[in-house]
Amino acid sequence: MPNVSVKVKWGKETFPGVEVNTDDEPVLFKAQIFALTGVQPDRQKVVCKGVTLRDDAWGNFKLTNNAIVLVMGSKEEDVPAAPVEQTRFVEDMNEAELATALDLPEGLMNLGNTCYMNATVQCLKTVPELKNALLNYDKTSGGGTAGELTSALSDTMRTLEGGQSGACAVATAKLLHALHEAAPRFAERGAGGGFAQQDASECWSEIVRALQSRLPVAAPVPGDRASIVEQYFGGQLDVELVCAEAEEPPSRSTESFLQLSCFISQDVKYLQSGLRSKMSEQITKMSQTLGRDAIYTKTSKISRLPAYLTVQFVRFYYKEKESINAKILKDVKFPLELDVFELCSPELQERLAPMRAKFKELDDAKVESTLSGKNKSHGDSRKDTKRKAVLPYWFENDVGSNNSGFYRLQAVLTHRGRSSSSGHYVAWVARAGGWLRCDDDTVTPVTEEEVLKLSGGGDWHCAYLLLYGPRILEIPEEEEPMVTEANEDPAGEPPTALA
C-alpha cells in the first residue's frame, strides 16, 4: 500500500498521523516535514530504521503504518532571541522581515532546479481572471494528467493567497509531481542525481495547454473560444501567402496564437521591431504551379487581440558542437506600455479606433490640466476626488479581447545563464504601487527602472517571456461617454484592473 500513516519525531516534538504516499517523490514528504517543522528540505536528514531518505528515490527507505521517522536539522532562523524588542529600520531588515513589514506575497520554494516552474506560476498569477478560475476549479472533475496539473495549480494558488509558507511548500511539491506526470521530460535527473534544470518557456506552454483543456469559460462566447485560456490569451492572425517565383493568386487563411514571438537578429534593438519583422517573413513551401518548393512571402496581421498578450523573446538556439541550447544575450528594449495598433488588420484597426480616441481625449485632458496648474493643491481639487468609472477593455461581443490595442506590462520572466538547461529563472511582477521580484521563496520590492534593465546585453537577468495586460480606461463617473464597442460584460461582471 503506497499510503501509510507515520509519526514524525523532530527534537522534542512528535507529529503523529502524518499521511505519506510513497508513489510520490520523496521531495513531497520532505515538503510535508518542512510544513510541520520549518526545517528546509535541503537541511533535513530523514531516517527510519537506520536508513536515510534520499532526494531522488525511496530506495531501501521502507515505511509502514505507525513507523517512527526521525528528522534531524535546524531552521535557518534559529538564533537566540534578543532580550528586548528594538525598533528596526527598513534598511536594517533581512528579506523575511522586509516581506512582513511591507506585506509582500508568499514565494515558492525551490525543490531543486525548479525555479523555472516557480517563475511561471508567479507570472500567470498576475492574471485575475485566470487566478479566479483556478481558485474556483472543481478538483473532482477528473481530466487525467491535465486535470491533476490544473488541480495542483489550483491548490498552489489557494495557498499563495493564504500566505502560509509551510502549506506553500507542500502545494509546490504536489504541483511539481503533477507536472512530472503530465510531461515526464521535466522529471529528468542531472549528473548529480537531482532534478535537471528545464526551459521555463516549455513549462509555461505545458501548463497553459493543461489549463486550456480544463478551464471552460463561464458562459458561451462567440467563435471557438471554449476555455478561459482561449478567451483571455488567444489571438488570431489573418495570413496571406504570395509566391515570389510564379504568378499565383494569393492564398489567405487564419491562424490562432497564444503568444507572439520576437526573433532576435542583428537589426532588432526593440521589442516592436522584433514583432514587426515576424509579421512579414520569407518561407519555403511547395508550389502547385511550379511543382517544386518555392519562396513565398508570408504576411500576417492580427485580427483578434487577446486581453493578455504573451511575448516570447527567442533567445535560445541549438549549438550542435556543444549539444546545448545556447543563449542570445543581445540587449532588446521593451516598453512598460505597448501599442500594437500597427500589427493589426485594417478591419481590426477600425474597430479599435473608438476606444483609442477615448484614451487620447483623457490623455490630452491630463496634459491640459497639468499645463494650467489645476492639478496643484491650490486648484480645483474636487475633480481629483471624484469617483471614477472603469470602462470595459473588451469588445461588446467578445469578452476577453482587447478593444484599444494598448497594453501595460504586468510580468516578466527572466533567465540568467548561458543555456536554457542551466542558470536561474526569476519572475518580476507588477502590483498596485510598484513591482516585485519573485526569486523562488524570496520576494522583494523593485523599481520600474530595475525592471527595464532586464532587456539583456550581459550576464545579468534577461527578459525571456513578457506578459502584457490591457490598459484600463478610468473616467469621472458623470462624464462617462457612450461606449460604442465596449459595453458591460454580458455576465454583469465589471472589468478587472491589475491588483
What residues are labeled active site? 115, 424
Count CB atoms within 10 A of the CB of residue 470.
28
DSSP string, 128-187: HHHHHHHHT--TTS--HHHHHHHHHHHHHHHHHHHT-HHHHHHHHHHHHHHHHHH-GGGG
DSSP string, 85-133: -----GGG--HHHHHHHTTPPP----SSS-HHHHHHHHHHTT-HHHHHH
Query: For the chain, how long is the longest CA-to-CA vector?
Result: 88
Determine the Cα–Cα distance for residues 447 and 491; give it in Å rounded to an integer: 37
- C-beta of residue 351 within 8 angstroms of C-beta of residue 395: yes
Q: What single letter denotes the amino acid at residue 238?
A: D
Q: What single letter denotes the amino acid at residue 377?
A: S
Please, what is the Cα angle at 462 between 337 and 273, to 5 degrees?
50
Query: Based on the number of CB atoms within 10 Å of its own CB, is 126 exposed (0-12), middle (13-18) or buried (19 or more)?
Result: buried
Q: Give the closest residue to 435 by CA, choosing from 91, 123, 114.
A: 123
Which residues are within 8 A (CB) of 390 and not within 5 positions of it... i.e. 6 or more apart? 472, 473, 474, 494, 495, 497
- C-beta of residue 287 within 8 angstroms of C-beta of residue 243: yes
Q: Specify the DSSP class assigned to residue 196.
A: P
Alpha helices in 323-453 (DSSP H): 346-372, 448-452
Query: Based on the number of CB atoms within 10 Å of its own CB, is 347 exposed (0-12), middle (13-18) or buried (19 or more)?
Result: exposed
